[in-house]
Amino acid sequence: MPTVMLLVGGLFGTIIGTLLSGGLVAIAGLPVYGPAHSVLAALLALGAGAILPHVVQPILILFGAGLGLLVATIFLYAGAAISVVRGAALGEFCSRGAIIGAASSANWFIMSAIPGLSVFAVIIFIITLLSLVPAIAGNRIYESVLAALGWVLPLNYIMLPLGVLVFLITAPFALLSPTGSVRLDRLTWTIETAGGAALGSVGGFRGFNIGNFTFIRPGVPTSPTFTTGVSAHETGHTLSGAAFGGFFYWIGAVDEIVPPLRRGPAAYSEMLAESHFSGPTGAPFIPMW
């Protein structure tokens, strides 16, 4: 029954995502679209003045063009979160599936509009949609493929440029710190930055994630790939970002940290990410990754 409800929700979400992706297609050719190094190259070549035109403005345009998809994702997220609170598991499965379906179809629609990427877009659509099947979503090989796609999925560029920017700011501090580090998580193709003064003022969080970048506070122990711990939790967000899309990421951030919600570890997005390696930090989790 859970798989059936996920698939039903996925079909519903795919229809929604396809119908609402027209606005996003119009901006698919933005310079920010493409590998993360295009954003990095722009910042290095033009300096601080490149942040507004190459990072901030494209993100705002993506939000504006995808307003319909954003609103739909908000309602679907709310439906999933309310279902969890009320113990309505089937409602959560259906809402989760719908979010995955909407994000998958939007990514496919945008990429198929780019010359030469139509076949690749179909392959990506199939791969991201496979996260509807619990047995596949929890498979480590599948997770590695899904997370790697996070670097090129159009909806991820609603958040990924910010991850590049924060990385450029924090990485030097981490590398200069005797306890800091910068490494690549081999399972999720996520760049992890740990330690460094630049992360010392990030509230009470042990770490946070932005797309395929995770940032761990000084003094918080990291965990090796394929093991439990805060690193596993944060890379769970990498997987969620690839499957649910960038709008889900920002909605989850509001659910977690912005009053009057501010539900912390009880936020829906947090509980999904926490399932990566079965609740690595001991917080409540919803089985998925």
4-56: pLDDT as tens digits: 888 888 888 888 888 777 666 666 555 445 554 555 566 566 666 666 666 66
Question: In angstroms, how far is CA 193 from the centroid of its own chain?
Answer: 17
Contact by Cβ (8 Å): 89, 287: no
60-69, 115-124, 147-156, 207-216, range with the lowest pLDDT: 60-69
Q: State how far the Cα of 54 lies from the Cα of 28, in Å rounded to an integer.
A: 14
How far is the CA of 94 from the CAs of 68, 247, 251, 276, in angstroms?
20, 18, 18, 21
Question: In angstroms, how far is CA 217 from the centroid of its own chain?
Answer: 20
Q: State how far the Cα of 249 lies from the Cα of 169, in Å rounded to an integer.
A: 21
Mean pLDDT of 200-226: 80
Question: Which tokens hold the place of 87?
Answer: 């113990």
pLDDT at 79 over 60: yes
- What pLDDT sits at residue 76? 96
pLDDT at 252 over 90: yes
Mean pLDDT of 52-66: 65
Residue 112 pLDDT level (bands cut at 50, 70, 90): confident
Q: What is the pLDDT of residues 144-167, one digit of tens each?
A: 999 999 999 989 988 898 999 899
pLDDT at 239 over 90: yes
Number of neighbouring beta carbons within 10 Å of residue 119: 10
Question: Which tokens hold the place of 213?
Answer: 């970048």
- What pLDDT sits at residue 101? 96
Residue ranges of alpha helices (H) inside the chain are 2-20, 22-25, 36-46, 51, 57-65, 67-86, 89-112, 118-129, 134-137, 140-149, 160-176, 230-244, 246-257, 268-274
Q: Would you list the domain boundaries of the chain?
A: 2-138, 160-274
Q: State how far the Cα of 21 lies from the Cα of 278, in Å rounded to an integer.
A: 34
pTM of the model: 0.85
Mean pLDDT across the chain, nearest whole number? 85
29-33, 74-78, 171-175, 250-254, range with the lowest pLDDT: 29-33
Q: State how far the Cα of 89 lies from the Cα of 74, in Å rounded to an integer.
A: 19
Question: In the block, which residue shows the tokens 């119908």?
Answer: 19
Cβ neighbours for 171, distance < 8 A, ≥ 6 positions apart: 182, 193, 196
Question: Which tokens hold the place of 241?
Answer: 């970002």
Residue 220 pLDDT level (bands cut at 50, 70, 90): confident
- What pLDDT sits at residue 32? 47
Question: Which tokens hold the place of 134?
Answer: 């619990």
- Return the percentage of the chain with pLDDT > 90, whole number: 48
Question: Which tokens hold the place of 256?
Answer: 């977690």
Residue (of 101, 81, 100, 102) closest to 92 by Cα position:
81
- What pLDDT sits at residue 53? 65
